[in-house]
Amino acid sequence: MFRIKRLYTFVLETFLPLLLATYSVCLFILLMQFVFMHIDTMVGKGVGLGVLAQLFFYAALTFTPMALPLSILLGSLMTFGNLGEHLELLAMKASGISLLRIMKPLIYSVLVISAISFYFQNEMVPRAQTKMWTIMLSLRQKSPELEIPEGSFYKEIPGYNVYVRHKDKKGGMLRKMMIYDYSDGFENAKVIVADSGKLNMMDDKQHLTLTLYSGTSFQNLNTRRTRNVTEKIPYSRETFMLRKILIYFPSDFEMADESIMGSRETGKNMHELTTYIDSVQYEQDSLAIQTAELFKKQVYAQTFKGERYYTASVADAKNDSLFAQGLDAYYKQLNIDKQIHYMQQAKSRSERVLSEYNYSSIQQSDSQKQLLLHSIQFEKRFSLALSCLLFFFIGAPLGAIIRKGGLGLPAVLSVVLYLLYYTVDTFGTKMAKQDVWPVSEGVWLSSILLGVLGIFFTYQALNDSAMLNPDDWKIAIQKWWAKFNKKHKSYK
């Protein structure tokens, strides 16, 4: 009967609770960062808690692959730091158990977590990102909650700027109002001044009713578009006791079409990314062949066709397809008018070819950009899943070296290492997006760095190196300081 060794269960029971706790902390930090970045979109829209709960749920699913590497790094660092601090790791090594054997159950666990992370990125994250950014787009398109402040202009009503000096909170009456109405365009803007008014939402939740009392409206008579600076502009003035204005202001929350976000590279799985990359690459190759044929037709066939009289002989004309043997001599024997004519003709033809190529390059630039983004997203699925395993081979040996548990030194080292990884990953991805580096080099640069660090720390831990042990550094510094003081006193 298969049974897990007691050593393995002990290590797993130590690691898994710490992994769950660090994952919760890392996911919470990422969610808070997301909220701080998009707080203006969420606040002031009057949406219910259900919509915000859906947004946070899909955001948590989206950020799970990003939180896993950091949580594995911090969890493995704390696990082996605690084992080293409590001398449990020393007891295991004294009984003849190597560090790799102690790490063995955790390596298998992290491999399973990496596979789950890859599957999660391929199946769940695209749908979650599509849902999340669809809700964000819907929140951006929704009109803000109607709350007119006192003493400042309110610009959230489309086509109107409303100023209210004082608000009667009990009756809802607005006092000393000034309204700039540019709903018919800035050229036909109106200025309305009213003693008081009231703003109400209609039952259809799509329109506002602005009721004004005892006011005056002004409007320029735009009879001519151009006027002199000193010329007076006629305007109309109208005094009213009561006026009602109907304003279109939809307040219901409507979900946007998911196909808008689903067509982006973040909303596609591996099969869809591969299909898109292959189709766009085929299209790019076809356009390149077509452009080459067009260049050959416009530049070569139209410029170097027919008989050229500036060749040295008929034999030279047969050998040289461009007929360029005596071009300079032929050009110099022409009169000045012919020379100017040929130069202008060459200039106009080159400008036409250049404009056509500029148009073709603009036409292909968007496809090339999308191809880069899809290729980066394809490579990211593998590199992000692999980073879980690489971070474990950094955290576990480093924890065995420093022999410090808790949230002190392990948390500091984890944040420093993750910031280093994030900086290098952002830099490489940016180089790949700008097409400065190949996609494989830009995306995998951070993984190569993690691999080098993992090999280095694992080698140091397996050989019980004291190079990274803070206690050994502290003892060495104390010995050096005592030796320095002793020499200083004897010198005196």
Return the H-helix or E-strand segment holding 244. Answer: strand 235-248
Cα 284 to Cα 8, 25, 255, 294, 489, distances in angstroms: 54, 45, 35, 15, 79
How far apart CA 439 and CA 432 sit, in angstroms, is 5
More confident residue, 237 or 297: 237
Residue 66: is its pLDDT beyond 80?
Answer: yes
Domain residue spans of the chain:
153-248
How far apart CA 268 and CA 313 sit, in angstroms, is 64
Which pLDDT score is estimated for 170?
72
Which pLDDT score is estimated for 307?
41
Which pLDDT score is estimated for 116?
93
Which pLDDT score is estimated for 309?
43
Taking the model in full, what pTM does it have? 0.70
* Model confidence pLDDT, tens digit, residues 90-106: 888 888 888 889 999 99
Which pLDDT score is estimated for 321?
46
Query: Which of 144-158, 164-178, 293-307, 341-355 has the weakest average pLDDT?
Result: 293-307
Which pLDDT score is estimated for 106?
93
User: Which amino acid is located at 279 in the chain?
Assistant: S
Which pLDDT score is estimated for 478?
76
Beta strands in 277-409 (DSSP E): none
